[in-house]
Amino acid sequence: MTDDQTPNAAQQKTSHRDLDSSLKTTKPQTWVAVTAIALVLVVALTWSVAATIPMKSTATGVLNNMRYGYSLTAPAAGFVEVTGIQNGIVKENQQVGTVTSESGDSVPLMSLRAGEVVSLFVVQNQYVELGDPIASISFQPALNEPIELIAFVGESDMDFFPIGGVVQLSAVDVASGTRIHATGTIQGETELPATDATMLSVSAQSQSLTDDWMTASDGYPFAIFIATDDWPTGDNGFVPRGGQIVNIERVYTSVRPTSRLFGKG
């Protein structure tokens, strides 16, 4: 072996010192951190391949006030005076006011059935025409029958709410703060968009909800009809009335995270 091929003793010592220094520099805490990061990456990769993400569509519905309510209208033209409503509640066939014509003739204003006054559209002694709305009154559904709901969605969302589809429902009682959860089944849908008048009627004359439906549907609101038979009404629930707002959610499919990222199933 020549002198060029023989390792220099000083070089060997320097090499050993560099290795020792490198090992001392990489502390145990660093290896723990690296191992933890590796485990996180493995878990994330496994989740992205094996897990699924539910795809949901949501809508806002109400207990159909055309089913569970009615509009109290003026029985004649004249000046209306509302006098018989106590705490917003009316009884069946109760006189709740009068309409007095310009000639002085008075006609009683009678409720059709018991219920709660949701909206009052007049002030005392306001002049009304025959048939003008005086109040919107809602009542409770029969508890031995499925409760009927209605919602409005855009045409592009109709496929997410097919007839026979199961939806999740949630609602809050404004008076008590009680929240309920229930399931429902889509019973039907309309082929033509609804009008403002229809949405006002089913929502107990709620202009804000009507505007929300119109905005969410881009001006073309299609109705979907839902029925539920497991609405909680006991200690953990409440009995709703016409016009009760209900949040609706339906899981229409599930996808893997990788398909969301790369567009593959």
Say whether both 223 and 108 belong to one domain.
no
pTM above 0.75, yes or no: no
Residue 115 near residue 96, CB atoms below 8 Å:
no
Say whether both 169 and 61 belong to one domain.
yes
Least confident of 106-110, 154-158, 206-210, 251-255: 251-255
pLDDT higher than 60, residue 50: no
CATH code assigned at 111: 2.40.50.100
Residue 4 domain-assigned? no
Structure tokens at 208: 């804000």
Residue 265 domain-assigned? no
Residue carrying the six token digits 């008590």: 176
Say whether both 176 and 225 belong to one domain.
yes
Separation of alpha carbons 193 and 157, rounded Å: 13
CATH code assigned at 221: 2.40.30.170
Residue 1 domain-assigned? no
Tens-digit pLDDT profile for residues 224-251 = 999 999 999 988 899 999 999 999 999 8
pLDDT reported for residue 143: 85
pLDDT higher than 80, residue 25: no
What is the CB neighbour count within 10 angstroms for residue 211?
12
Residue 150 near residue 224, CB atoms below 8 Å:
yes
Say whether both 127 and 29 belong to one domain.
no
Separation of alpha carbons 128 and 245, rounded Å: 30
pLDDT higher than 80, residue 138: yes
Q: Which domain holds residue 44?
A: 9-50
pLDDT higher than 70, residue 85: yes
62: nearest Cα among 194, 217, 200 = 200
pLDDT higher than 90, residue 257: no
Model confidence band, residue 160 (pLDDT cutoffs 50, 70, 90): very high
Separation of alpha carbons 191 and 250, rounded Å: 21
Say whether both 105 and 198 belong to one domain.
no
Say whether both 241 and 163 belong to one domain.
yes
Structure tokens at 29: 């805490």
Count how many domains the chain has. Answer: 3
Residue 59 near residue 161, CB atoms below 8 Å:
yes
Tens-digit pLDDT profile for residues 53-78 = 667 899 999 999 999 999 899 999 99
Say whether both 120 and 222 belong to one domain.
no
Residue 75 domain-assigned? yes
